[in-house]
Amino acid sequence: MTQETLNLYQIAQHQFDRAADLLNLSSDLRAILKNCKRQLIVSIPVHMDKGGVHAFEGYRVQHNIARGPAKGGIRYHPEVHLDEIKALAMWMTWKCATVNIPYGGGKGGVRCNPKELSTGELERLTRRFTSEIMPIIGPDRDIPAPDVYTDAQTMAWIMDTYSMTKGYSVLGVVTGKPVPLGGSVGRNTATARGCLYVIREACKKKGIELKGATAVVQGFGNAGSFAALFLHQDEARVIALSDSAGGIFSKTGIDPSEAIKFKKRTGSLVGMPGTEKISNQELLTLECDILVPAALENQITAANAHDLRAGIVAEAANGPTTPAADEILSQKGVMVLPDILANAGGVTVSYFEWVQDQQGFFWDESAVAKVLEAKMTQSFHDVFNSAQTHKVDLRAGAMCLAVDRVANATTMRGLFP
Ligand code: NAD
Q: Whose CA is nearest to atom 5 of ligand 1?
A: 221
Judge if the beta carbon of residue 318 lies within 6 A of ligand 1. Answer: yes
Domain for residue 234, yes or no? yes
- Average of per-residue pLDDT across 246-266: 97
Task: Note whether 195 and 309 are same-domain residues.
Answer: yes
Contact call for residues 84 and 109 (beta carbons, < 8 A): yes
Mind listing the pLDDT tens digit for each residue in 134-179? 999 999 999 999 998 999 999 999 999 999 999 999 999 999 999 9
Atom of ligand 1 nearest to the CA of 318: 32
Domain stop point among 307, 342, 377: 342
Q: Separation of 152 CA from ligand 1 center, angstroms?
A: 16
> For residue range 297-327, what is the model confidence (pLDDT) as tens digits?
889 999 999 999 999 999 999 999 999 999 9
Nearest Cα residue to 140 out of 167, 104, 164 = 104
pLDDT tens profile 44-93 = 999 999 999 999 999 999 999 999 999 999 999 999 999 999 999 999 99
H or E stretch including 347? helix 345-359
Query: Does the annotation count 251 as an active-site position?
Result: no
Q: Are residues 200 and 149 in the same domain?
A: no
For ligand 1, whether the C-beta of 295 sits within 6 Å is yes
User: Which of 244, 269, 321 most suits a substitution to test ligand 1, by most atoms within 8 Å of the C-beta?
Assistant: 244
Atom of ligand 1 nearest to the CA of 339: 44
Phi, psi of 393 (to 5 degrees): -75, 175
Question: What's the 147 CA to ligand 1 centre distance in angstroms?
Answer: 9
> pLDDT tens digit string along 10-48?
989 999 999 999 999 999 999 999 999 999 999 999 999
How many angstroms separate the alpha carbon of residue 288 from the centre of ligand 1? Answer: 21
Do 157 and 218 lie in one domain? The reply is: no
Specify the residue with its C-alpha closest to ligand 1, atom 23: 221
Please indicate, yes or no, whether residues 206 and 327 belong to a single structural domain of this protein: yes
Does residue 338 sit in the same domain as residue 194?
yes
Confirm whether 184 is domain-assigned.
no
Question: Has residue 404 been placed in a domain?
Answer: no
Residue 149 belongs to a domain: yes
Of the candidates 397, 334, 312, 404, which has an alpha carbon nearest to the alpha carbon of residue 97? 404
CA of 352 to the centre of ligand 1 (A): 22
Q: What is the pLDDT of residue 394?
A: 97
pLDDT digits (tens, 9 = 90+) for 240-249: 999 999 999 9
CB of 219 closer than 6 angstroms to any ligand 1 atom: yes
Count how many domains the chain has: 2
C-beta of 293 in contact with ligand 1 (< 6 A): no
**Is residue 164 domain-shared with residue 206, that is, in the same domain?**
no
Claim to verify: residue 206 and residue 332 sit in the same structural domain:
yes
Q: Over the chain, what is the mean pLDDT?
A: 96
Whether residue 86 contacts residue 120, with contact meaning beta carbons closer than 8 Å, is answered with no
Domain's final residue, options 169, 199, 229:
169
Q: Are 2 and 322 in contact (CB under 8 A)?
A: no
User: Helix or strand or coil: residue 167?
Assistant: coil
Residue 12 included in any domain: no
Ligand 1 centroid distance, CA of 106 (Å): 19
Q: Whose CA is nearest to atom 29 of ligand 1?
A: 317
Is residue 120 domain-shared with residue 203, that is, in the same domain? no
Ligand 1 mean position, distance from CA 316 (Å): 8
Asked whether residue 40 is assigned to any structural domain, the reply reads yes
| Ligand 1 midpoint to CA 140 (Å) | 29
Nearest-angstrom CA–CA distance, 215 and 84: 30
Q: Would you place residue 4 in the very low, low, confident or very high pLDDT band (cuts 50, 70, 90)?
A: low
| Atom 17 of ligand 1: nearest residue by CA position | 244
Q: 107 lies in a domain? A: yes
User: Does residue 289 surpass a pLDDT of 70?
Assistant: yes
Query: Does the beta carbon of 108 lie inside 6 Å of ligand 1?
Result: no
Q: How far is the C-alpha of 129 from the C-alpha of 326, rounded, in Å?
A: 37
Domain end position, chosen among 342, 377, 401: 342
Calculate what percentage of the chain has a pLDDT beyond 90.
95
Q: Is 242 in the pocket of ligand 1 (CB under 6 A)?
A: yes
Among 84, 343, 349, say which to mutate for ligand 1: greatest number of ligand atoms within 8 Å of CB.
343
Q: Could you give the dihedral angle defined by the CA atoms of residues 324, 325, 328 and 333, in that order, rounded to the nearest 10 degrees?
A: -140
Residue whose CA lies nearest to ligand 1 atom number 34: 318
* Residue with CA nearest ligand 1 atom 1: 221
Q: Which residue out of 37, 86, 107, 263 is catalytically annotated?
A: 107
CATH at residue 163: 3.40.50.10860
User: Is pLDDT of 281 > 70?
Assistant: yes
Q: Exposed, middle or buried, 31 (CB in 10 Å: 0-12/13-18/19+)?
A: exposed
Write out the residue range of the structural domain in which residue 55 sits.
Answer: 36-169
Q: Which of 148, 241, 248 to mutate to test the pocket of ligand 1 (most atoms within 8 A of CB)?
A: 148
Residues 116 and 247 in one domain: no
Q: How far is the CA of 100 from the centre of ligand 1 (A)?
A: 24
pTM given for the model:
0.95
Residue pLDDT, tens place only, 324-382? 999 999 999 999 999 999 999 999 999 999 999 999 999 999 999 999 999 999 999 99
* CATH (domain of 220): 3.40.50.720
Kindly state whether residue 359 falls inside one of the protein's structural domains: no
- Residues 250, 273: contact at Cβ < 8 Å? no
Same domain for 248 and 288, yes or no, is yes
| Residue 350 beta carbon below 6 angstroms from any ligand 1 atom | no
Q: Where are the beta strands (DSSP E) in 294-407?
A: 309-314, 335-337
Answer yes or no: is pLDDT of 215 > 90. yes
Are residues 137 and 243 located together in one domain of the fold? no
The answer, yes or no, to whether residue 113 has pLDDT greater than 90, is: yes
Answer yes or no: do 45 and 93 share one domain: yes
Which residues have CB under 8 Å from 27's CB, separation 6+? none
